[in-house]
């Protein structure tokens, strides 16, 4: 067991826990976006940053281990500025209409969705190329989870990876091939971990497009069709 | 899509198969040399040969600016449009080159353009490491690289008040015969490895790559780390705008770096080393290969061998952990630290990674002893230091001085501000640095004095701007550089560099929007405080320093320093020479594959997604 202070409150927890565990287990709210129990934490969204005394830069609570005697602030001015600005930049970059959690965070931090006028948005056409799921990367916030579960965190299928770099990064397949022409096995794990509706079950997508359940069932997105798609791949 | 003949590829990449994924970048380089670009079938074949997932290979090609997944010209001309070259009318040069070939003239932030017959591609480029020879031009013609007006390698322009590190620089490559014996290594071999580390520690050597970390402590960490497989890496990625010192050291005196690596290997117990050279320095590779052969024949690489790796256009790969990823055949994403390289470096093994200049100090220290070495420089910043002086000075070049000279003394050595103008500012430390003004002229250039003055030593960049320059244009280019080079891993930098660039673009155009000052500051501090690596943490450093010095530039569209730029005569000579060569060579087919007309769907990389 170790003892540290978070927001002036003395906290004792087991060794090896992260600052995020320490905070949440003690009722202190620290927001997260990229963090997910099922995937390796990469600490990329930085929304969970906290101020640790003696550290030059803010520390991502999701991966930094709680240490004895640490003095942590989860709501310092620096922390709030970073979180608010990250949220405002997200809102000026992508379509957050189906990312309820992030919208709630924006409200919490007083983040304005119009903070960056004339910002270039990251837009992409909807990719509807397989019977299982639809990809709309205008809604993608690059949390990496889909790439991770497709690879070493779950499926070992390696169907998707990154395109471009920096602001122009996007999730993509080998030379932009449609999903049925990749190694994808349509396991749906990526859809399960996507936080923003960028990856969506085809059925849900069609319902939203105004199709009735009957019309959709005629389309037959069931297992038979899936195995047909599989066998079409050589 | 047309069929591509894979026959020449297989034997060419065979040697990389045993390396597995780590052979990916070398294999892609090899493939691109054959086909001129990387068509789908070629990428597919490389992936299968090295057993790397297709999507991952695609991800790697997409990451590195010098890998192309669409056809480019048989001849490629790259013109640096970063600040030092912009001062010498790089934009004008680029535009005139484009016009001459009926390509649309493009602004600095444009992407490359290729003629319809695939004979020529013209591309603006981030800093090419030839800032003292601005405007820098780097040309690939039929697989042959040239620089400037068609020279095989850039000239070395070396000055300064001492010549320790640059003793053998300025007059072509120094052979082993001229270099003499590896006396520092010989001395080291008579000592215990621990004693070698102690010698480096007591010499007070501090890393010259930008992070200013004590070298001895780094070596000690790796020496003490458990494991019998350890690595020594020489970081020759040198991509910090304004920096060109490592280029000169490696081209003119490769044995000094190799000797430094051998000593490091002995001190930590490494049997394998790598020199990671940036993709924009291909002309250094044969020089290094030759020097390594000389050293092998002389028996200096006994039980320790060095492999050369070549980057492919990514500033971030100079960040040590991104560099490891790159050698491992991956996208250059920096890793989370800790763990640190000394315990978990390349392939997860204990690794010492040092800058070229740092390693060049090592033979000097061993040969003379720490006490003697410390006679150079100051008490707290011992040793010689290289400064890359560029921009508006009479004599741009590489300057070697002892730590402790003042900025004024350095600028005087460089002949002062060119054309009799007044000094406006100095970009200190690189794009990731900060601006100094005439108020800083008497600051002693040592680690402490500079830190106290708020100026980072960085990679030794001293880029001078005279009174006529519009600093907003300089800032715009820095903004563009970071947006182009952010790896995209973490949100603050991935989006922050883009937002920063957008704001700086409109400020440069005099179209400041209400709230831009605070907006720019929020973005800057968020990147500084919350980014994963040094790139994001310093991407706003120069901008924030400019905001302190010249707040008025960011607040209104004040006319300050917006006078017409002076037109300097004689600046068109360079392009005339390049032109002549282009006319001579164009139309010559470079390979079977390139001769065939290929029509492919352009990928995202060179076509901007949306405006
Ligand atoms: C974005 C970025 C780029 C870097 N580029 C270089 C480089 O080109 N060369 C270099 O030696 N160090 C570079 N560094 C610093 C390295 O991470 C590392 O600190 C250095 O190689 C260590 O060597 P040293 O201790 O001898 O300076 C860079 C760091 C960052 C964050
Ligand atoms: S598609 Fe969804 S899961 Fe994948 S990176 Fe984007 S937001 Fe994350
Ligand atoms: S700071 Fe920038 S370069 Fe570094 S990891 Fe984050 S996005 Fe990549
Ligand atoms: S939740 Fe910690 S960095 Fe994303």
Token pair in block for residue B520: 């720019």
Lowest mean pLDDT among A220-234, B100-114, B300-314, B560-574: B560-574
CA distance B366 to B260: 9
The mean of the pLDDT values for chain B is 91
B167 & B206 share domain = yes
Q: How many helices (H) and strands (E) does chain B have?
A: 25, 15
CA distance B33 to B90: 28
Considering only CB atoms, which chain A residues are within 8 Å of B211? none
B224 & B284 share domain = yes
Token pair in block for residue B433: 């640095």
Q: What would the DSSP string read from start to end of B141-210?
A: ETTEEEETTTBSS----EEES--STTTT-SSSPPPHHHH---HHHHHHHTS-HHHHHHHHHHHT-B-SSS
The neighbour count for residue B181, using CB atoms within 10 Å, is: 13
Considering only CB atoms, which chain B residues are within 8 Å of A116? 499, 502, 519
B288 & B409 share domain = no
**Burial classification of residue B1, based on how many CB atoms lie within 10 Å of its CB (0-12 exposed, 13-18 middle, 19 or more buried):** exposed
B450 & B481 share domain = no
Is residue B108 over pLDDT 70?
no
Task: Kindly state whether residue B300 falls inside one of the protein's structural domains.
Answer: yes
B212 & B326 share domain = yes
Token pair in block for residue B95: 């535009």
* pLDDT tens digits, one per residue of A103-114: 999 999 999 999
B18 & B46 share domain = yes
Task: Kindly state whether residue B209 falls inside one of the protein's structural domains.
Answer: yes
B207 & B285 share domain = yes
Domains of chain A as residue ranges with CATH: 1-121 (3.10.20.740), 133-233 (3.30.70.20)
* pLDDT tens digits, one per residue of B334-373: 999 999 999 999 999 999 999 999 999 999 999 999 999 9
CA distance B460 to B245: 8
pLDDT at B3: 80
Radius of gyration of chain B (CA): 24
For ligand 3, atom 6: residue with the closest CA: B490
* pLDDT tens digits, one per residue of B250-305: 999 999 999 999 999 999 999 999 999 999 999 999 999 999 999 999 999 989 99
Ligand nearest to the CA of A142: 2
Considering only CB atoms, which chain B residues are within 8 Å of A84? 522
Strand B231-236 versus strand B351-355 pairing type: parallel
Q: Grade residue B577 by pLDDT with cuts at 50, 70 and 90.
A: very low
B545 touches B454 (CB < 8 A) = yes
Ligand nearest to the CA of B532: 3
Q: The domain spanning residue B513 has which CATH number?
A: 1.20.1440.230
Identify the bridge partners of residue B77 per DSSP, sorted by sequence position.
Answer: B122, B139
> Which among A30, A99, A97 is positioned nearest to A58, based on CA atoms?
A30
Percent of chain B with pLDDT over 90: 87
Q: The domain spanning residue B242 has which CATH number?
A: 3.40.50.11540
Q: CB under 8 Å to B502, separation ≥6 — which residues?
A: A116, A118, A119, A120
Task: Kindly state whether residue B171 falls inside one of the protein's structural domains.
Answer: yes
Pairwise CB contact (< 8 Å): A119 & B531: no
Strands (E), chain A: 2-6, 9-13, 49-52, 59-60, 71-73, 133-135, 161-163, 170-172, 199-201
Ligand nearest to the CA of B456: 1
Is residue B598 over pLDDT 50?
no
Q: Grade residue B559 by pLDDT with cuts at 50, 70 and 90.
A: very low
Question: A42 CA to middle of ligand 2, Å?
Answer: 14
Question: A127 CA to middle of ligand 2, Å?
Answer: 14
Is residue B578 over pLDDT 70?
no
Q: CB under 8 Å to B84, separation ≥6 — which residues?
A: B127, B131, B134, B241, B242, B390, B391, B463
CA distance B336 to B258: 29
pLDDT at B142: 84
Q: Grade residue B594 by pLDDT with cuts at 50, 70 and 90.
A: very low
Q: The domain spanning residue B430 has which CATH number?
A: 3.10.20.600
Atom of ligand 2 nearest to the CA of A147: 4
B268 & B332 share domain = yes
* pLDDT tens digits, one per residue of B211-228: 999 999 999 999 999 999
Lowest mean pLDDT among A179-193, B100-114, B156-170, B565-579: B565-579
Pairwise CB contact (< 8 Å): B499 & A163: no
A24 touches A90 (CB < 8 A) = no
Q: How far is A40 from chain B (nearest CA, A)?
A: 12
Is residue B95 over pLDDT 80?
yes
Task: Kindly state whether residue B597 falls inside one of the protein's structural domains.
Answer: no
The domain total for chain B is 4
pLDDT at A202: 94
For ligand 2, is residue A142 a contact (CB within 6 Å)?
Answer: yes
Task: Kindly state whether residue B85 falls inside one of the protein's structural domains.
Answer: no
B167 & B281 share domain = yes
Using a CB–CB cutoff of 8 Å, tell me whether A73 touches chain B: no
Using a CB–CB cutoff of 8 Å, tell me whether A92 touches chain B: yes
Token pair in block for residue B261: 């690596």
Greatest Cα pair distance in chain B = 67
Q: How far is B590 from chain A (nearest CA, A)?
A: 25
Q: Grade residue B576 by pLDDT with cuts at 50, 70 and 90.
A: very low
Q: How far is B487 from chain A (nearest CA, A)?
A: 5
Q: What is the ipTM of this complex?
A: 0.92
- For residue B520, give its domain range: 471-560
**Rounded to the nearest 5°, which phi and psi values hold at A197?**
80, 10
CA distance A43 to A21: 14
B404 & B271 share domain = no
Angle at A196 between CA A193 and CA A200, to 5 degrees: 70
pLDDT averaged per 10 residues in sequence order, chain A, 234 residues: 97 96 97 96 98 97 97 98 98 96 97 95 95 97 97 95 97 97 96 96 92 75 46 44
| Average of per-residue pLDDT across B468-489 | 97
Percent of chain B with pLDDT over 70: 90
Task: Kindly state whether residue B378 falls inside one of the protein's structural domains.
Answer: no
Pairwise CB contact (< 8 Å): A123 & B488: no
Q: Grade residue B569 by pLDDT with cuts at 50, 70 and 90.
A: very low
B249 & B319 share domain = yes
For ligand 2, atom 3: residue with the closest CA: A194
B398 & B266 share domain = no
Pairwise CB contact (< 8 Å): A163 & B528: no
Task: Kindly state whether residue B141 falls inside one of the protein's structural domains.
Answer: no
Task: Kindly state whether residue B122 falls inside one of the protein's structural domains.
Answer: no
């Amino acid at each position: 067991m170790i003892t540290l202070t978070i927001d002036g409150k003395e906290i004792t927890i087991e060794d090896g826990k992260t600052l995020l565990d320490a905070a949440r287990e003690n009722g202190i709210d620290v927001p997260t976006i990229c963090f997910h129990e099922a995937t390796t934490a990469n600490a990329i969204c930085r929304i969970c940053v906290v101020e640790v005394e003696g550290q030059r830069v803010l520390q991502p609570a999701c991966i930094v281990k709680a240490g004895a005697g640490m003095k942590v602030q989860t709501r310092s001015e620096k922390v709030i500025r970073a979180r608010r600005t990250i949220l405002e930049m997200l809102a000026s970059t992508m379509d957050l209409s189906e990312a309820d959690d992030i919208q709630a965070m924006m409200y919490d931090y007083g983040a304005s969705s119009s903070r960056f006028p004339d910002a270039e948005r990251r837009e992409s056409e909807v990719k509807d190329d397989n019977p299982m799921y639809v990809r709309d990367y205008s809604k993608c916030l690059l949390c990496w989870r889909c790439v991770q579960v497709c690879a070493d965190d779950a499926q070992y299928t390696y169907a998707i990876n990154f395109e471009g770099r920096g602001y122009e990064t996007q999730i993509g397949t080998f030379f932009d091939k449609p999903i049925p022409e990749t190694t994808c096995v349509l396991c749906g794990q990526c859809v399960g971990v996507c936080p923003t509706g960028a990856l969506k079950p085809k059925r849900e997508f069609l319902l939203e497009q105004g199709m009735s359940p009957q019309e959709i069932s005629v389309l037959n997105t069931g297992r038979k069709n899936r195995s047909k798609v599989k066998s079409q791949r050589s | 899509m047309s069929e591509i003949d894979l026959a020449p590829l297989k034997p060419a990449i065979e040697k990389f198969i045993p390396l597995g994924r780590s052979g990916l970048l070398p294999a892609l380089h090899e493939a691109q040399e054959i086909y001129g670009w990387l068509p789908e079938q070629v990428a597919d074949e490389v992936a299968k040969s090295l057993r790397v997932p297709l999507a991952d290979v695609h991800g790697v090609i997409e990451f590195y600016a010098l890998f192309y997944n669409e056809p480019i010209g048989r001849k490629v001309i790259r013109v640096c449009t970063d600040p030092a070259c912009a001062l010498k009318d790089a934009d004008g040069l680029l535009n005139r080159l484009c016009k001459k070939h009926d390509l649309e003239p493009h602004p600095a932030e444009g992407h490359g353009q290729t003629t319809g017959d695939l004979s020529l591609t013209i591309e603006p480029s981030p800093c090419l490491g030839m800032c003292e020879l601005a405007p820098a031009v780097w040309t690939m013609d039929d697989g042959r690289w040239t620089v400037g007006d068609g020279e095989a390698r850039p000239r070395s322009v070396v000055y300064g008040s001492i010549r320790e590190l640059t003793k053998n620089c300025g007059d072509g490559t120094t052979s082993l015969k001229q270099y003499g014996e590896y006396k520092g290594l010989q001395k080291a071999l008579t000592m215990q490895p621990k004693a070698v580390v102690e010698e480096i520690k007591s010499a007070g050597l501090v890393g010259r790559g930008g992070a200013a970390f004590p070298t001895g402590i780094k070596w000690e960490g790796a020496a003490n780390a458990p494991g019998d497989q350890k690595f020594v890496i020489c970081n020759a990625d040198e991509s910090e705008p304004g920096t060109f010192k490592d280029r000169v050291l490696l081209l003119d005196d490769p044995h000094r770096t190799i000797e430094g690596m051998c000593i490091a290997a002995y001190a930590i117990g490494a049997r394998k080393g790598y020199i990671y050279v940036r993709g924009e320095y291909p002309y250094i590779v044969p020089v290094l290969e030759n020097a390594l052969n000389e050293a092998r024949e002389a028996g200096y690489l006994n039980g320790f061998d060095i492999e050369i790796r070549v980057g492919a256009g990514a500033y971030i790969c100079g960040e040590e952990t991104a560099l490891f990823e790159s050698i491992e055949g991956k996208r250059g994403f920096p890793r989370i630290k800790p763990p640190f390289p000394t315990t978990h470096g390349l392939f997860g093994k204990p690794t010492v990674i040092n800058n070229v200049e740092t390693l060049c100090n090592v033979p000097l220290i061993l040969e003379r002893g720490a006490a003697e070495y410390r006679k150079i420089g100051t008490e707290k910043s011992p040793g010689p230091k290289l400064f890359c002086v560029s921009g508006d000075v009479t004599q741009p070049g590489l300057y070697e001085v002892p730590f402790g000279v003042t900025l004024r003394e350095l600028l005087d050595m460089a002949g002062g501000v060119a054309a009799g103008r007044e000094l406006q500012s100095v970009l200190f430390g690189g794009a990731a640095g900060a601006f100094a003004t005439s108020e800083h002229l008497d600051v002693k250039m040592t680690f402490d004095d500079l830190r106290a003055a708020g100026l980072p030593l960085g990679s030794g960049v001293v880029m001078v701007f005279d009174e006529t320059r519009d600093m907003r244009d300089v800032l715009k280019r820095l903004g563009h550089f970071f947006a182009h080079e952010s790896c995209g891993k973490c949100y603050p930098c991935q989006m922050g560099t883009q937002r920063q660039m957008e704001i700086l673009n409109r400020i440069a155009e005099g179209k400041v929007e209400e709230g831009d000052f605070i907006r720019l500051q929020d973005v800057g501090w968020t990147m500084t405080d919350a980014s994963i690596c040094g790139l994001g943490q310093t991407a706003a450093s120069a901008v924030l320093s400019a905001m302190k010095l010249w707040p008025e530039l960011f607040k209104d569209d004040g006319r300050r320093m917006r006078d017409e730029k002076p037109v300097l005569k004689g600046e068109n000579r360079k392009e005339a020479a390049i032109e002549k060569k282009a006319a001579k060579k164009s139309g010559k087919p470079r390979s079977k594959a390139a001769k065939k007309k290929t029509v492919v769907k352009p990928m995202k990389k060179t076509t901007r997604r949306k405006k």
